[in-house]
Structure 1
Amino acid sequence: MDKLSINIIATSDIHAPAGLSLLRKATSSVNFDADIMILAGDLIDRGKKEYYGEVLRILDSLGDIPKIAVFGNDEFDSIKEDLKKEFGGEIIFLDDGALTMVISGISVGIVGTKGSLERPTSWQRSNIPGISRIYEERISTIGKLISELKTDVRILVSHYAPTFRTLAGEDPSTWKFLGHRGYEEIIVKNKLSLVVHGHSHRGLRKAVIGSTPVYNVALPLWKELVCISISASPAGLNSFL
């Protein structure tokens, strides 16, 4: 492999405790030397924060790999601070935030978010005042964060789907409850190196927006951890499984 490359392991939607057995099986079959691990939300089911540490312990069997996570809808807002406090020393949480790092000589910028829905769920509409506005404003926030990255590689991580292109396989009537197409313009305009999301358990594994590969890494969809390599060359950046 080109020496200027980074290797990524990604997953989401473990929904612990339900998915712990599948996660153990998926982890045991990995033969991939990863530089970073991306966790695209819903590691636990319905706010069961007592299982978050168990998920991380299973993933730790892959080695001392930096972990970068976003929150899913099942990491309830009410437990976010508890998760940050308990696990912030071993995992980097990106909650509408960005980070930069250097891996194998490549500068890497990652923006992470829960994402947005075109149509908030009935519970969200009833319990979160202004949720539609929050989702729309989040798109602008993420676009600004991405535009400020001056790195060789730029990655967007979202829990909700930032496109409908990876939702084929889901009931089309539910797509607006699974993601938001407003991020597509950001992806194309900024020519992102990679987009990773979760949330869709029955969608497509991968799609392409412009020149950008978009991976839906939900564990129920793949039944395995997703291994992605990004390599830098004079011709540009290429991402492949």
Structure 2
Amino acid sequence: MIHVAAAGDLHVGPETAGTYRAHLTGLAAHADVFLVAGDLTRHGTVEEGRVAAGELRDVGVPVVAVLGNHDYHSDAEDEIADVLRDAGVTVLEGDGTVLDCGGTRLGIAGGKGFGGGFEGRCASDFGEPEMKAFVGHTKDFAGRLRTALLDLDADMIVSLTHYAPAEGTLEGEPPEIYPFLGSYLLGEAIDASGADLAIHGHAHKGTEKGLTSGGVRVRNVALPVIQHAYALYRLDVPEGRVEGTAPRLGTITPNHIRSHT
């Protein structure tokens, strides 16, 4: 059994330093790992990145994060990632990591992701070079995500992105902006890997629970959605699982920590 704490869209700034960290006291008593689904900062400045690093430093469990669109805004995403890594945070961008959680190997792969829309209502890489570049960026990331997930040698697999891999967790957002909130291509990459869980943020007015087309459970952990400092999910390794079989679907029981942001 693995307990995964997750949150996204922290949007910290210098004036909020220490505020979010106060809600992470005792995190190790509830979780084996903390996943952060992007938008750690407001405007993507290095100063804000240092604040985010301070919030996540030495919280008692491994912290794995991806960046979000806000973290790219000031063209300092590489510096922000370095600051987070210096604080002990594992930052993913199209790659993966494996953690030992009490003898169970938890594999996490992910990155920011990108938009494009969902089946039947999506952009295509046709026409102007700007449109080709938009969709091409998502295709490139989805390919890297799929490879990273498939390469994980782990008992349980989690995908971590900022953009959504399924439209179910976008319910509540205006349908007109769905193409800018995620892409079905991310969901296809996740389905190909047989992941146990997909975590994302970005959709502040969305819904917590959803599914990919292939039936992988998706959770939107943006703070405005979960309304807590983090959400906690339990992953049970099914008895008799044959390693390498798909889908890798364990039992996921959502449970919210009563620590409000």
Correspondence for 1:186: 189
Question: Does residue 212 of structure 1 match 2:216?
Answer: yes
Instruction: Pick closer, same or farther for the CA change 1:37–1:205 going to 2, 3 Å.
Output: same
Separation of aligned partners in 2, 1:214 and 1:183: 11
Structure 2 residue matching 1:108: 3-state secondary structure: strand
Alignment-mate amino acid for residue 238 of structure 2: S
Distance 2:15 2:219 in 1: 20
* 1:118 matched residue in structure 2: 116
Q: Distance in 1 between matches of 2:129 and 2:19?
A: 34
1:177 and 2:180 correspond: yes
Bigger mean CA deviation after superposition, 15-24 or 68-77 = 15-24
User: 1:128-158: per-residue Cα shift (whole Å, max 9, x none)?
Assistant: 9923212112111211221222311111000
Query: So what's the TM-score if we normalise by structure 2?
Result: 0.78
Change (3 A) 1:59 1:88: closer
CA distance in 2, matches of 1:75, 1:52: 8
Question: Residues 218, 107 of structure 1: CA spacing in aligned structure 2 closer, same or farther, 3 A cutoff?
Answer: same
Give the Cα–Cα distance (whole angstroms) in 1 for the partners of residues 28 and 112 of structure 2: 29
2:79 to 78, 82, 107: 82
- The answer for the alignment partner of 1:91 in structure 2 is 89
Spell out the pairing of 1:1-241 with structure 2 (5 A cutoff).
5-17=1-13, 20=16, 23=20, 26-27=23-24, 32-60=29-57, 63-76=59-72, 78-89=75-86, 90-118=88-116, 130-209=133-212, 210-224=214-228, 225-234=230-239, 237-241=250-254
Q: Distance in 2 between matches of 1:216 and 1:18?
A: 26
Computed over aligned residues only, the root mean square deviation of the Cα atoms, in angstroms, reads: 2.8
Amino acid at match of 1:234: E
Query: How far off is 1:70 after superposition?
Result: 0.4
CA-to-aligned-CA distance 1:24-45 (integer Å, 9 cap, x gap): 6754696952111101100101
Q: Which residue of structure 1 aligns with residue 120 of structure 2?
A: none
Gaps of 5+ in 1: none
Alignment: residue pair count = 232
1:160-202 residue CA offsets vs partner (Å, 9 max, x unmatched)? 0111111010001111111001122233333211110000001
Render the CA deviation track for 1:18-75: whole Å, top value 9, x for unaligned.
99497367546969521111011001012133123333434458x3211101010011
Question: 1: distance between equivalents of 2:225 and 2:14?
Answer: 14
Shift in alpha-carbon separation, 1:19–1:136, aligned structure 2, 3 A: farther
The 8 Å contact of residues 96 and 148 in structure 2, kept in 1 or not, is answered as yes
Q: Which residue of 1 aligns with 2:258?
A: none
Q: What runs of 5+ residues in structure 2 fail to find an aligned partner? A: 118-122, 242-249, 255-261
Check the 8 A contact 1:153/1:193 in 2, yes or no. Answer: yes
Deviation at 1:211, TM superposition (A): 4.1
Letter aligned with residue 69 of structure 1:
A
CA distance in 1, matches of 2:131, 2:215: 36
Give the percent of matched residue pairs that are identical in Structure 1 and Structure 2.
24
Structure with higher RCO (Cα < 8 A, 6+ apart): 1
CA contact (8 A) 2:27 2:61 kept: no
The answer (yes or no) to whether the contact 2:172–2:207 under 8 Å persists in 1 is yes
